[in-house]
Structure 1
Amino acid sequence: MLNLILFGPPGAGKGTQSEKIIAKYKLIHLSTGDLLRSEIQGGTELGLRAKTLMDQGLLVPDEVVIGMIDNKLKEHKGAPGFIFDGFPRTVAQSEALDALLAGHNESISVMVALVVDDNELLTRLLNRGKTSGRPDDQNEELISKRIHEYNSKTKPVADYYQAQGKYIAINGIGEIETIFEGITGAIEQA
């Protein structure tokens, strides 16, 4: 089973590349945002708990998100693998994900990180903001804050998987197909 974390800062191209990876390897896409919305719409116990917290402006605790991921793993037992999107974002979440997967006799196969310098990210996100209508991609100060947040809080997750020998960095600047070839090479290597 292939369990892949596609990693990188906002604007690195994760959305574009994850679609290509899913199509090629037939992986189940596990996006924490999608999971939260699905559980809330389904009225599940975890969804109702998450909605109560979100309605109060609070973050959904890791154990709730892990519970949702566990539900998806059980729902798709025969899947060829999973691609994790937006999770894990902290070392604590990485440890919890590893423990969850171990309970299913699985583990993360590889973390593929799209590496893009901050200036390129800013340019990409501002351009995306012009076409997407997303307000968070139209404010340069907000974009810089998001990139800084990623660099300071999320990047240690890469170090965590690098220590396990599961981290592979891919240059996220260039043609979409060239980047995808780099990703598939990293997956095949893993």
Structure 2
Amino acid sequence: MRMILLGPPAAGKGTQSKRLMDAYGIPQLATGDMLRAAVAAGTPIGIQAKAVMEGGGLVSDDIVIGIIAERIEHEDARKGFILDGFPRTVAQAEALDEMLAAKGLKLDAVIELVVDQTALVQRVMTRAAETQARGEPVRKDDDPEIFKTRLAAHNRDTAVVAPFYDQRGALKRIDGMQPIDVVSAGIDQILHAAKH
């Protein structure tokens, strides 16, 4: 089961990815983690990425696609994978399609968690307040101002990816404001239909 989970920060992608990993025995591939692992392992593409990162530059789409191409060859990804945080642009989505096609693979599902962004900001503010009330440090991502900045960046840069897949008839949408179990059940239905 090869899939992409789309949606703004705090939409529940991490929660759903964990459930999917457990249910299907497939890894969640977060590009940041893969980059760090490739650099640490000293793979050819990791060495390239390290040079760019040490120079303070952004890693190119070619390098990121190369790292994904390398990573999906690992044994744990043979049955599939969940891409989270990638693709972020239409160019990345096109490059991903080309790389998968070259391997004789394709995506089984592209699922967008659709959320009410005003309610999302409220959800994050509530979570931050509850964390503070327990006397625990608030996650940087849960700082309301930082969160609003991340949300604006998502709307500006990444929101174009869903329409790209929608035009190809590949996008499925789920109301991410529903209870976690209901969202999970909706994802399971989509994946079950994709297999048949």
167, 170, 173: which is aligned to 1:169? 173
- Take 1:132 and 1:31, find their aligned partners in 2: how far apart are those partners? 25
Sequence identity (%): 40
Map 1:62-101 to 2 at 5 A.
Answer: 62-76=61-75, 79-101=78-100
- Take 2:57 and 2:18, find their aligned partners in 1: how far apart are those partners? 30
- Take 1:116 and 1:165, find their aligned partners in 2: how far apart are those partners? 21
- The ranges of structure 1 where at least 4 consecutive aligned residues each deviate by more than 4 angstroms after the TM superposition are none
Q: Which residue number corresponds to residue 40 of structure 1?
A: 39
132, 136, 139: which is aligned to 2:141? 136
2:26/2:77 contact within 8 Å kept: no
2:140/2:146 contact within 8 Å kept: no
- Take 2:54 and 2:40, find their aligned partners in 1: how far apart are those partners? 14
1:28/1:79 contact within 8 Å kept: no
| One-letter amino acid of the counterpart of residue 16, structure 1 | T
1:21/1:27 contact within 8 Å kept: yes
Q: Is structure 2 residue 144 aligned with structure 1 residue 145?
A: no
Matched pairs, number:
188
1:116/1:171 contact within 8 Å kept: yes
- Take 1:56 and 1:127, find their aligned partners in 2: how far apart are those partners? 39
| One-letter amino acid of the counterpart of residue 178, structure 2 | G
Q: What is the DSSP-based 3-state SS (H/G/I as helix, E as strand, rest coil) of the residue aligned with 1:74?
A: coil
Q: What is the DSSP-based 3-state SS (H/G/I as helix, E as strand, rest coil) of the residue aligned with 1:87?
A: coil
Q: Which residue number corresponds to residue 192 of structure 2?
A: 188
Q: Is structure 2 residue 162 aligned with structure 1 residue 158?
A: yes
* Superposition CA RMSD, Å: 1.9
TM-aligned CA distance change 1:144 to 1:78, over 3 Å: closer
Instruction: Give deviations 1:128-152, integer Å, cap 9, x for gaps.
Output: 55467432321x2322121121112
- Take 2:110 and 2:193, find their aligned partners in 1: how far apart are those partners? 12
| One-letter amino acid of the counterpart of residue 171, structure 2 | Y
Q: What is the DSSP-based 3-state SS (H/G/I as helix, E as strand, rest coil) of the residue aligned with 1:48?
A: helix
What displacement does 1:78 show? Answer: 7.2
Q: TM-score, normalised by structure 1?
A: 0.90
Q: Is structure 2 residue 53 aligned with structure 1 residue 54?
A: yes
| One-letter amino acid of the counterpart of residue 149, structure 1 | A
Instruction: Give deviations 1:82-118, integer Å, cap 9, x for gaps.
Output: 1111110100000000000001111111111111111
